[in-house]
Amino acid sequence: MAAALPNRMPDDSVSYRRNDLRSDDPRQRLIVALDVSTAAAAQRIVAAVGDSVLTYKVGMQLYTAEGPRVVRDLVTSGRRVFLDLKYHDIPNTVGAAVTEAAKLSVSMLTVHAAGSGNMLRAAVEAAQINPGLMVLAVTVLTSMDANDLEKIGIRGSVEDSVVRLATIALANGCQGVVTSAREVSTLRAELGDRFAIVTPGVRPAGGNAGDQVRIATPAEAIASGASHIVVGRPITEAADPAAEARAILGQISG
């Protein structure tokens, strides 16, 4: 990043525990998406949000623009990083990529559940060099609905596809999945609560849905059984990002 981020957070507040899915501290459950194109823009968001957020998502946009340095700077400053690159390739390639990601000390990363059990196992095995790293399998993108699935040859409901893909992911060692809030309660009912569910497409009540189709409010996502929620533009584009983050933390707590 353009300048070093300050080390403001105590070590015990950012130490990641794989099984700490339902902490009383709502900051453990909120992930802010840094969907920007420069490290400087990401730095401004992190500084504006302050201590209200512990974990930031670095996705394809920022990572492609700035590379691993932006991840290293966030980790060095005491933040957790959710590396959301959605790896989907042959097992050897994905395993090699996850090995490099694990060396960056990220706390979470994503692979596509549709990549097959062999690919998922390769990712999980590669992640073991970083014991605190969670491998999350993306099920069905929150921008998609049943019509979109049918067009690519997948019949049945979105919920059926999510359950099927999540079952494969967990059977092959993934510690959690990524899905919309609409499928969370079904996943909990059918697969239990011993895994993380990260829910993107979260918008405060009355917020703009943007390009998301299957959305929910923070309170709805948590009530349905999500362990973590991802919020981007409602916080990062707010006039006061810290105040918006605190408001969402209040909704999580409520």
The residues assigned a catalytic role are 86
Interatomic CA distance for residues 155 and 32, integer angstroms: 33
Q: How far apart are CA 37 and CA 74, in angstroms?
A: 15
Q: Which tokens sit at 147?
A: 């019509």
CA separation (Å) from 98 to 53, 111, 202, 235? Answer: 25, 9, 27, 29
Beta strands in 133-227 (DSSP E): 134-138, 176-178, 196-199
- Which residues, 6+ apart, have CB-to-CB distance to 222 below 8 Å? 29, 229, 252
User: For residues 134 and 11, what is the distance between their CA atoms, to the nearest angstrom?
Assistant: 19
Contact present, 47 and 5 (Cβ < 8 Å) = yes
Specify the residue for token string 């504006």: 48
The single residue listed with the structure tokens 């499928």 is 183
Geometric angle at alpha carbon 74, from 198 and 36, rounded to 5°: 70
